[in-house]
Structure 1
Amino acid sequence: GKSTLSNQLLGRKVFPVSKKVHTTRCKAQGVITFEDTQLVTAGGKQFNHGLQDNLKLRFWTIQVRYISLSFLAVLVLVDVSDHWTRNCLSQEVLKCLSEFPHVPSVLVLNKVDLLKKKYILLELVTELTEGIVNGKNSSAKTHGIVTETQGPKPHECRDLKNRKGWPRFQEIFMLAALTGEEVDTLKRYLLMQAKPGPWEFHSGVLTSQSPQEICDNIIREKILEYLPLEVPYGVTQVTELWEEGPSGELLIVQNLVVPRKSHMMMLIGKRGTVISKIAQEAGQDLMNAFLCDVRLKLKVEVKS
């Protein structure tokens, strides 16, 4: 859900989104500019742990080597619809938070729209925060944010192996990144936390990715969606043509190289249906991202 949330915060789809793992390979930055304020989101990291039925534990945090005093906040994203993983933070996330307590941390509960029993959210808040938010005892939820009543100050870090939550989150947000519910609330909060300083990017920039990287990622997203199991991870993308057409449209030709003929047949599909869907959907996403007409042609071949 981290790429979906990033796209919602940016207001345009520039990061690939897929149900399969490792969709976003790059550590690209997102750029949010509103009036005289600019925020830059760092490349996120996904921590995975094999659980029952090979379920994955997924949380979003900035990679440790990128954390510094200059960071505005660390967002920890929890999928509340996954009852196998939602009740505790991973050891990697807890270690990251404990090693950099000077960086403000924010807990984001995602996919709240999928929960039929909303009282579960309050239970999760208690578990994931150890009952403490911004140095106070957490209580009721208002407009997607958990409010607080005065309570004890956060206690010192205990042995992380016995810990499930983190008592030093400054705020909690409950949202649905896919539908955009309460995302603006989080965005306004982050903008309010901004500190004076020079902008890193021009106001028209949305991401540190190059246009070619955006293109590769969007096409790869569709490949992940339409090909089964491990097949998408063996596809190599080679751009053969990238130029402006006579009417100002963007002309793109990309060759998709696969290791086996059987993979090529799956990628092409019966009568070319699969590759046509990928090209059509990727082309539309590219037009939405670049705000111009895009003519995308995809070719498939077996690695020689």
Structure 2
Amino acid sequence: MIDSLGQIPVAPPNFKSGFVGLIGRPNVGKSTLMNELIGEKVAITSPVAQTTRNRLRGILTTETAQMIFVDTPGIHKPHHELGKVIVKNAQSTIEAVDLILLVVDASSPAGGGDRYIVELLKKSKVPVLVGLNKSDLGNEEKRGKNLATYRELLKDQPWELIQFSALTGVGLDSLQEKLRERLEIGPYYYPPDLVSDQPERLVMAELIREQILRETREEIPHSVAIIIDQITEEKNLTTIRATINVERASQKGILIGKKGTMLKKIGTAARAEMQKIIAGKVYLELFVRVQAKWRESARQVAEFGYFQEN
């Protein structure tokens, strides 16, 4: 049954819905988890820590529920203006969702970062589940010892612990059901076939940044910001022009590479990802510009699309 807008169905009886915040330290697998639960790529993933910068929403709709996952940047100690904005947005998510999934890396013992986040969550009235990601890594003895550290950390909390692997998919069906059980009866917030509410320009910029992180690793860690300058749509062809902003001339040289080989490699890989979600062919043109110390400037951080969300 479709509502008067002709887009969003009226939810059936006992249908559940709500917003689920994915909270955790950097690089614990939150983005990979969201992509696997939804079944499509919504957030970029990378072996580099602190990949996620924006508060991304991925939408999973089943016959009995609609879960809107809010993938947050990893909570860490900020070292510049950009870091402050990122962490503030992650922390503000805690009070803006219906349910929190605290994601931890079960292949390592609980650490100071986990304790810090637990203390933040203890102050909240939002229900919490604890997801032990990467629970399949290591031998049985190591897994048992790591699990014991998380049980000790959470011994005074009524939070249920759920083990799974976002990479292999093991345990995700059980996790999804546990999340559904804890949501309230509610409406469809989005059309059932929608998997994300992110603006097109943000998605395109993130796909470019993902390839930069993958190809340059430690050489260009997090001092890059992508601006989509223009998107032109014609029949069977979408032309995208984007500027990659870095902080130093040496970083510009690395990104361009000898005779432009690195920039071409990044562009080819990003274009392939774009064509998975854009109908027709994509022509991608990339430019590189130096913006010295942009992460330390509140004005430039905002200009590049990173601002504190409400």
Query: TM-score band, normalised by the shorter chain?
Result: 0.7 to 0.9
- Cα displacement string for residues 140-169 of structure 1 (whole angstroms, at most 9, x for unaligned residues): xxxxxxxxxxxxxxxxxxxxxxxx334434
Say if 2:145 is the partner of 1:111.
Answer: no
Matched letter for residue 239 of structure 2: L
- Give yes or no for contact 2:110–2:149 (8 Å, CA) kept in 1: no
Q: Which residue of 2 aligns with 1:257?
A: 245
Query: Quick one: which amino acid aligns to residue 168 of structure 2?
Result: T
Residue matched to 2:157:
168
Give the deviation of 1:302 after TM superposition.
4.4
* Corresponding position: 1:76 with 2:102: yes
1:242 is displaced (CA, Å) by 0.6
Note the 1:118-137 alignment, pairs <5 A: 118-130=140-152
- What is the DSSP-based 3-state SS (H/G/I as helix, E as strand, rest coil) of the residue aligned with 1:223? helix
Distance 1:254 1:129, change over 3 A: same
Alpha-carbon deviations, 1:229-253, whole Å to 9, x = none? 3635333423232122222x33212
* Count of aligned pairs between the two proteins: 255
Contact 2:231/2:241 (8 A) holds in 1 = yes
| C-alpha contact (below 8 Å) 2:239/2:283 kept by paired residues | yes
Contact in 1 for aligned 2:213/2:221 (Cα 8 Å): yes
Q: Which runs of 4+ in 1 moved over 6 A?
A: none
Checking the alignment, whether the CA contact within 8 Å between 1:72 and 1:193 is kept in structure 2 is no
Residues 9 and 260 from structure 1, CA distance in 2 versus in 1: closer, same or farther, beyond 3 angstroms?
same
Contact 1:110-1:175 within 8 A present in 2 as well: yes
TM-score (norm 1): 0.72
Where does residue 277 of structure 1 map in the other structure?
265
Aligned to 1:20: 48
Percent of counterpart pairs with the same letter?
27
Q: Equivalent residue for 2:199?
A: 210
Q: Which amino acid counterpart does residue 251 of structure 2 have in structure 1? A: H
Structure 2: which amino acid aligns with 1:176? S
> Hey, what's the Cα distance between the residues in 2 that align with 1:297 and 1:168?
51
1:94 CA displacement: 2.1
Distance 1:49 1:253, change over 3 A: closer
Larger radius of gyration: 1
Provide structure 1 residue ranges, at least 5 long, that are not aligned to the other structure: 51-59, 131-163
- Kindly report the root-mean-square deviation, in angstroms, between the aligned alpha carbons of the 2 structures: 2.9
* Distance in 1 between residues matched to 2:142 and 2:168, nearest whole Å: 20
Q: Distance in 1 between matches of 2:90 and 2:249?
A: 38
How far apart in 2 are the matches of 1:258 and 1:65?
28
Bigger relative contact order (CA 8 A; separation at least 6): 2
User: Which amino acid letter does the alignment assign opposite residue 232 of structure 2?
Assistant: E
Amino acid at match of 1:197: G
Deviation by residue 1:114-152 (Cα, 9 ceiling, x = unmatched):
31x12433333333123xxxxxxxxxxxxxxxxxxxxxx
User: C-alpha deviations, 1:178-216, integer Å up to 9, x for none?
Assistant: 222222321232233332222222222222311111111
Cα 1:299–1:67 shift into 2, 3 Å? closer
- Please, which runs of 5 or more residues in structure 2 have no aligned partner? 1-28, 79-86, 293-310
CA contact (8 A) 1:104 1:169 kept: no
**1:1-304 residue pairs with structure 2 within 5 A?**
1-48=29-76, 63-68=90-95, 71-82=97-108, 85-86=109-110, 90-100=114-124, 102-115=125-138, 117-130=139-152, 164-229=153-218, 231-247=220-236, 249-290=237-278, 293-302=281-290
